[in-house]
Homo-oligomer: A and B are copies of this chain.
Amino acid sequence: MTTKARKPKAAIAKAEEDGTRDKILNVAIQEFSRYGLSGARIDAIAAESGANKGMIYYYFGGKDDLYVAALEESYRRFRQIESEFHIDDLPPVPALRRLVSATFDYHAVHPEFIRMVMSENINQGEYIRKIPELQAINRPAIGLLDNLCQRGIAEGVFRADLDPVDLHMSISALSFYNVSNRYTFSYIFDRDLASKKVHEARRESVIDMILRYVRAP
């Protein structure tokens, strides 16, 4: 059918728009995560994305707004991946192992996300507050973990006094630090955190730590 072959006008416009808009947004995530809000350059984003500077203002409004959009998009991608863990099919301990392992790896593979979060904390969370959706985006992670904890407790393999938010925090902390403090730690203690070997050993250590922590006495 011809109708299927033809894109409606609006869709075409949307698609083309998205081309430039998406390029800008992707480059912006790189630029902001690399240099922070104040260090990022609108000129650099325009040049790197091949777009005219005016387009940035056309699509996003201004530097701060672009930063907010980049921040939101970073979180969205992060949690989207998380939703693909499929840990409900496994028993509690292997499930938690997989969750920690995947979380740890995601951090390592997406330093730009870690850096965006660092930047925003340097900004004292000023901009994240402009994204009300963020809570909805992130909360499922707690629900997931909560379910897992309850399953583990019910089966008697996890201790009974687990707080899923606190546990989530520990997993995050141990995953985050490896990337966030990569440069200072590597330099000071001469241990290259980016190397595969160190990464894998550390992942095991982190998994071990979490599992020992949750294990029923």
Contacts and interface: CB of A to CB of B under 8 A. Distances in A.
A135 B184 CA distance: 10
Interface residues of A, number: 54
A182 B188 CA distance: 25
A213 interface: yes
Nearest to A167: B205
Q: Give this chain's copy count.
A: 4
A181 B181 CA distance: 13
Interface stretch (A23-31, A32-40, A88-96): A32-40
Contact of A39 (B39, B166, B189): B39
Given A38-B35, A39-B36, A169-B202, A183 B121 contact: yes
Given A36-B38, A117-B181, A208 B202 contact: no
Residue of A135, A178, A183 contacting most chain B CB atoms (<10 Å) = A183
